Chain A
Amino acid sequence: MTKKINILTSKLVICFLMLFILLGCSGGREINDLEIVIGMGVDKDENSENILLTAQVVKEGEMEKSSGSGGGEGDGKAFWNVFGTGKSVFEAVRQITHKTGNRLFVSHNHVVICGKDLALEGLQKYIDFFLRAHEMRPTTIILIAEDRALDVMNAKPETEKLPAMNITKLVKTYGFTSHFYKVNMKDFASCLMCGTRAPIAPLVGISQDKDNKDIYVSGMAVFNNDKMVGRLTEDETRGLLWVLGKVESGVLLISSPNKQGKVAFEILEAKSKVIPEVKDGKIVMHVKIKGKSSLSEQTTAEDLATIEAFEKMQKAQTEAIRQEIMAAFDKSKELNADIFGFGEMIRKKHINKWKSLKDKWDEIYPTIELNTDIEVKIQKTDLLKKPVSPGKEEK
C-alpha cells in the first residue's frame, strides 16, 4: 500500500516538474514583443559604402485604430520604417535592434526591394541573407526600385495601410495585364544559379502627380549574371511571357479590319511550347503559341461579328503577339541576356550539343533564330453581338 502511494507521489512530482520543463519557454516570443516586418528594402548608403536597410515594421495599434473609426488621426501611419546600416545585410538587420529593442521578426516578410544602385553593382552578395535566414520564406517577392528602395517603402498607399502589402498586391495581380511578372526569391536564385539564364525582376517606381505619390510597377529589370543591365518595357515583358507561357490575361489592341479604329481583345488563355533545334551550329527556337481571346471593345461602327472579320482579326492578333515576342527577343539580343532561358532548354533537350555551346553562349546567343507559330482563336464577343453604331447612317 505505501509502495503504491510512493509511486503515485513520484508520478505526480514528475508531472509537476514537467510543467516547468516542457513549456518550451526558452524560445518563446510574445506577440507584443515582436517587430513584425512585412517588407524590406536594401539600398546603398549615400555617404558611405555601407548598406542601408529599411525594414517596414507593422504598428499593431495603428492597424486596429484606423479600421474602426474612420480617419482623422493626423499621421495615423500603420507602419514604421526603421533603418539600419552595416557592411552586410545581416549586420544591418542586427543594427536595427538598437532602434527597436527587439530582433526583427521576418517570418511575415512579403517583399524585398533592392535599390537600383545595388542592382547595377550585382545582387549576388546581398540576396544570400534573404535565402539563408531561417525565418525568411522562399516565396518572398523580389523587386528592383527605379531609384531608391526606401522612397518606395515610404510612399503611403491610399487604400492599403501598408506600402509593402500594397506592392505585394500589385505584383501578385500581374495577370490582369501580364505586363510584368512575379518573381520570388527561389525563382531569382534559380535563374542566378543557372549560369546562362538571365534573371529578371519587376521594377517598381513612384509616379508623382499633384501631391499624391503612387507606386507603380513599370516593366522588368534584366540582369546579366547578377548585375542589372537593362530593362524590358511592358510590351517586351509580355513578349517574354508569351514564350514562357506565363501570360494569364491582358489587353491585345489591334486596328480594326477597315483600319478606321481599334479593336481590343482580352486574352483568355495562352499556352506555349518551345522546341529547340540545333543543326550544325545553328540554333533555331520553334515557339508554338495557342491562345484564346474575347472581343472586349471596339471603336469602330463596323460589324465585326462575322466570320471574315474574325479571320482577319485573328491574323492581326497573331501579328500583334509576334511583334511583342520579337520586341522582347530583339531586346534580349541587344542586352545579350538570355531572359527566355533558351540555353536551359537546349541543355535539357540536347545535352551533348550543349556541352560545346555552353562556354561561348554569350557569343552564340545573338545568333539564335526564332521561329514563331501562333494561333489565336476569338471565343466570344461578350455582351454585344453588334456594335453600338449610329443607326441607319448608310441607308
Chain B
Amino acid sequence: MSIEKGKICNLQLLFLITGFVQSSVLLIDFTVVITEHQTWMVILAGLAIAIPFILSYVALAKRFHGMNLIQINDAVFGRFLGKVISVYYIFFLMMTLSFNILDVGELYATFLMPDTPFIILLIFFTATCAYAVYKGLEVLARVSHLFVVVGVIVIVSTFLLLIDQMDFSNFLPLFELPFIRIFHGIHIMLSIPFGETIAFLMIMGYINKTEHMVKNTLIGLFIGTASLLIAAVRNTAVLGNTEAIWTSPSFQSTRLIDIGTVLTRMDFLIGIAQTILIFFKCSILFYALVVAVSQLFGLKSYLPLVLPLAGIEVIIAATVFQSPVDHAAITQDAGIIYSVPLMFVIPPLSLLIAKIRALPKAERGKGV
C-alpha cells in the first residue's frame, strides 16, 4: 500500500530536518522588517514554542509508523473528514512550495541574473526539483548531509569574515519594540522555518527504526536554528539600523565583506548556499506534495504526478504575486494565518483523538 518503497535511517532524518530549517535563512528577512534588531530572540522564542508541536508530529509518526499524513488523517478523522483535511494539507503544501520556488526566482531576478526572464528561472529550478523527486526520497536523504555542510560552511564563514565590521551595540536596547511586533515576528518564525516541518509527516513514516526519532529531530532542529541564529546575529551586528531597508539583509551584509580589498564581493557565497538549500527544501516539499496527492487518489506510484504538478507549481509561482512587495505582505500577514490550524491545531488534535480511540492498533491490520 505504501507509495514509497525506500527507507531512510535516523541520521538522515536529522540532516533532512537541519537542511529544511536552515534553508529558511533568507526567509527570516520577512521577520527582520518587523522585529529589526530583536530578530535573534524571535528565532529562539519561535524554536521554544515550536518544539512541543514538532514533538507532536514525531509522536504521530511514531504512533502510526509506516503511514503518511494522508493515511493518518483517514485513520483519525474517518474517510470523509480525513479527505477534507488532507485536501487542506495538500493546498498548504502546494502554496508553500510555490512560494519557495518564487523565493528562488526573486533571488535570482534581483541579485544574480536580472536580465533573464523570470519564468525561465522558475522552470529550470522546478525541473531540477522534479528530477530530485523523481529519483526518490532515499537519494535526497543520502545527499542531505552535503547540503547541510555547505550551508553551515557558508553561514559560518561569512560570519567570521565580517567579524571586524560587527558592532554588537546594535543589539541594544534589548527590549525596545512593542510586544505586538515581537508577537507578529514570533508567529512568522513559528510558521515559516518551524511549522513547515509538518511536511516531514509525509516522510517520517519511512524511517526504518523509530527509537531515536525524538532525539534526532531535536538535534536537527537545533543545528538548523543555530544557522538561522548566526545569520540573524551577523545581519544585525553588521547592518545595524539599516537592516530593515534592504531587500535582502544577508546579501547586503556579505557584500560588505572587505578583507584587504582582495576578499570582496562574497555575495556569490550566499547565492550558492541559498540555491542549494532552497532546492533541498523545495525537493522535500515537492516530494511531500506529490506523495500526498497520489495517496489521496490511491495511486500505486507517485511518478506520473511529478511532471504535471511541477507545471502547476511553476504556473502558481509565476502568477500568484504581482511583485515581491505583494509576496512579503501576504506572507507576513495572511500566509501565517491560514496555515495555523494545519501546523498547530490538527496534529496535536489527531494525537489526542488517536489516544482516545486507541487507534493505531485497530487500524494497523487494515493499513498494510
Contacts and interface: CB of A to CB of B under 8 A. Distances in A.
Interface in B110-134: 110-111, 113-117, 120
Contact of B113 (A27, A138, A186, A194): A27
Main secondary structure of the interface of A (DSSP, over half): helix
Contacts of A24: 113, 116
B255 interface: yes
B115 A138 contact: no
A138 B250 CA distance: 13
A385 interface: no
Contacts of B138: none
Nearest to A188: B242
Interface stretch (B66-74, B90-98, B169-177, B186-194): B169-177
Give the most central of A26, A131, A139, A194: most B CB within 10 Å.
A139
A134 B251 CA distance: 11
B115 A190 contact: no
Nearest 3 interchain pairs by C-beta: A27-B115, A348-B172, A351-B173
B352 interface: no
B245 to A, nearest CB: 7
Give the most central of A138, A172, A194: most B CB within 10 Å.
A138
Interface of A: 24, 26-27, 131, 134, 137-139, 172, 186, 189-190, 193-194, 345, 347-349, 351
Contacts of A138: 252, 255-256
B241 interface: yes
Contacts, number: 49
23 contacts: A24-B113, A24-B116, A26-B115, A26-B116, A26-B117, A27-B115, A137-B255, A138-B252, A138-B255, A138-B256, A139-B255, A139-B256, A139-B264, A186-B239, A190-B239, A190-B240, A190-B241, A193-B242, A347-B173, A348-B172, A348-B173, A349-B173, A351-B176
B4 interface: no
A76 to B, nearest CB: 26
A19 to B, nearest CB: 15
A186 B256 contact: yes
Contact of A194 (B114, B120, B176, B241): B241
Given A190-B240, A351-B173, 6 more contacts: A134-B114, A137-B255, A186-B242, A189-B245, A194-B241, A349-B172
Contacts of B245: 131, 189, 193
A27 B116 contact: yes
B258 interface: yes
Interface size class of B (residues with CB under 8 A): 20 to 34
B104 to A, nearest CB: 16
A387 B239 CA distance: 49
Contacts of A349: 172-173
A139 B258 contact: yes
A278 B175 CA distance: 19
B124 to A, nearest CB: 8
Contacts of A189: 242, 245
A89 to B, nearest CB: 17
A158 to B, nearest CB: 21
Give the most central of B111, B173, B242: most A CB within 10 Å.
B242
Contacts of A193: 241-242, 245
A186 to B, nearest CB: 6
Contacts of A190: 239-242
Interface string B251-263: 0100110100100
Contacts of A27: 113-116
A137 B246 CA distance: 12
Nearest to B167: A190
A332 B258 CA distance: 31
Contact of B110 (A134, A139, A186, A194): A134
